[in-house]
Amino acid sequence: MVEPQTTVGDVKGPSLDTLEAILDINYTWGYEETRQQLRNLYTKARRGQWIPEDILPWETEVDLAKPNAPEHILPLYGSSIYANMAEEKRREINIEIFSWTLSQFLHGEQGALLAAAQLVNSVPELDSKLYGSTQVVDEARHVDVYNRYLQDKIGFLYPVNPHLKSLLDLILKDSRWDLKFLGMQIMVEGLALSAFGMIRNYTTEPLLHKLTQYVMQDEARHVAFGVLSLRDYYDSMSEKEVREREDFVYEAAVLMRDRFLYQEVWEKTGLPMKECMEISLNNTGQIMFRQLLFSKIVPAIKKVGLLSNRQRERFHKLNILQYEHWTDPEQEAIFAEVIASPVA
Ligand SMILES: [Fe+2]
Ligand SMILES: [Fe+2]
């Protein structure tokens, strides 16, 4: 059941959704112990903070009729429903998809805010806690900018997609800190980085372009935080424990790969929901889009040591193994910088 959409001027109070989660909270008294690379990342993060009011051109008049994605990746493109649709209805659907997409970014950012706050509590090392605190501020800023864009420039937003919610719940409820890293820093943030990258490369809308550019700089650090924190962690774990991590990654990958089919958009706009979901699932542009979302995740999974042959086979079946050797110059630049600088 989809909740009614929230509109500007809606007088409803905030709707709370409470999860029960067990979290180990770790003090660390070893202030003198330093993981230099994480300390460097912390310094980089503090220097990289930005103020949305000062930096982004909020005065931009956004023309919602202008598409923010190429036509061939629109979920219904190529179907008879799309072919028979009047131009005006196509425009309406595009705006709905735009709002749906940014709304899911917004909800994902809230999930990231909650997960980053959990990490500060539960990670054992001081440098991870210090870095994590900067991520909390980053994610708060991301929630703020997406919310503001949706409210001021689009005018309405969508509730969280149930599959995204399941994924966020999975991450937030697990008591093991490394699974939070895996789920949030590697999987969700990796997917977001790819999605943001596509928007940044395509959109000509100056506010969204700049906003995305700045958010991406932060997100690239967050993925680096995950990789640096987990890189050696699984070396000393038992095979059983490593398999559990691999299963978690696989489960999250399945949730992320073929469940985001704009169900709420079809429902709201009165299109045949099941048929449109089916079309979105099989649309060539959408298949490529969804595969591409894994281009940053698979190399990161490999870097942390969770791409065994068993996992490779499963990734192959999901059609995402081809990204195993992909490198991202922006991500590599961050690694190079934090690994090279000896003193923060
Ligand atoms: Fe974020
Ligand atoms: Fe993030």
Label residue 342 by pLDDT band (50, 70, 90).
low
Residue 116 has pLDDT above 50, yes or no: yes
Q: How far is the CA of 309 from the centre of ligand 1 (A)?
A: 31
Q: How far is the CA of 187 from the centre of ligand 2 (A)?
A: 11
Three-class DSSP category at 327 = coil
Closest among 106, 171, 107, 116 to 138, alpha carbons compared: 116
Tell me the β-bridge partners of 156.
7
Q: How far is the CA of 51 from the centre of ligand 1 (A)?
A: 15
- What percentage of the chain has pLDDT greater than the value 70? 94
Label residue 185 by pLDDT band (50, 70, 90).
confident
- Residue 259 has a pLDDT of 77
By CB neighbour count within 10 A (0-12 exposed, 13-18 middle, 19+ buried), where does 52 fall? Answer: middle
Per-residue pLDDT tens over the stretch 118-128 = 999 999 999 99
Residue 4 has pLDDT above 50, yes or no: no
Residue 275 has pLDDT above 80, yes or no: yes
With a CB cutoff of 8 Å and minimum separation 6, the contacts of 129 are: 28, 120, 123
Label residue 190 by pLDDT band (50, 70, 90).
confident
Q: How far is the CA of 84 from the centre of ligand 1 (A)?
A: 38
| Ligand showing the shortest atom-to-Cα distance for residue 226 | 2
Q: How far is the CA of 272 from the centre of ligand 1 (A)?
A: 33
Q: How far is the CA of 205 from the centre of ligand 2 (A)?
A: 23
Whole-model pTM: value is: 0.91
- Residue 337 has a pLDDT of 79
Domain borders along the chain are: 35-50+67-340
Q: How far is the CA of 185 from the centre of ligand 2 (A)?
A: 7
Cα(246)–Cα(305) distance, rounded to whole angstroms?
10
Averaged confidence pLDDT in the chain: 90
**Antiparallel, parallel or unpaired: β 156-157 and 6-7:** antiparallel
Q: How far is the CA of 327 from the centre of ligand 2 (A)?
A: 19
- Residue 35 has a pLDDT of 87
> What CATH number does the domain located at 35-50+67-340 have?
1.10.620.20
With a CB cutoff of 8 Å and minimum separation 6, the contacts of 269 are: 92, 93, 96
Q: How far is the CA of 33 from the centre of ligand 2 (A)?
A: 26
Q: How far is the CA of 88 from the centre of ligand 2 (A)?
A: 36
Per-residue pLDDT tens over the stretch 217-264 = 999 899 889 888 888 889 889 999 999 999 999 999 988 877 789 999
| Ligand showing the shortest atom-to-Cα distance for residue 144 | 1
- Residue 184 has a pLDDT of 92
What torsion, rounded to 10 degrees, do the Cα atoms 249, 133, 34, 186 define? 20
- Residues with a beta carbon under 5 angstroms from ion ligand 2: 112, 189, 219, 222
In the structure encoding, which two tokens stand for residue 174, read together? 């697990």
267 or 336, which is more confident?
267
| Ligand showing the shortest atom-to-Cα distance for residue 221 | 2
- Residues with a beta carbon under 5 angstroms from ion ligand 1: 109, 112, 139, 142
Residue 168 has pLDDT above 90, yes or no: yes
Cα(312)–Cα(324) distance, rounded to whole angstroms?
9
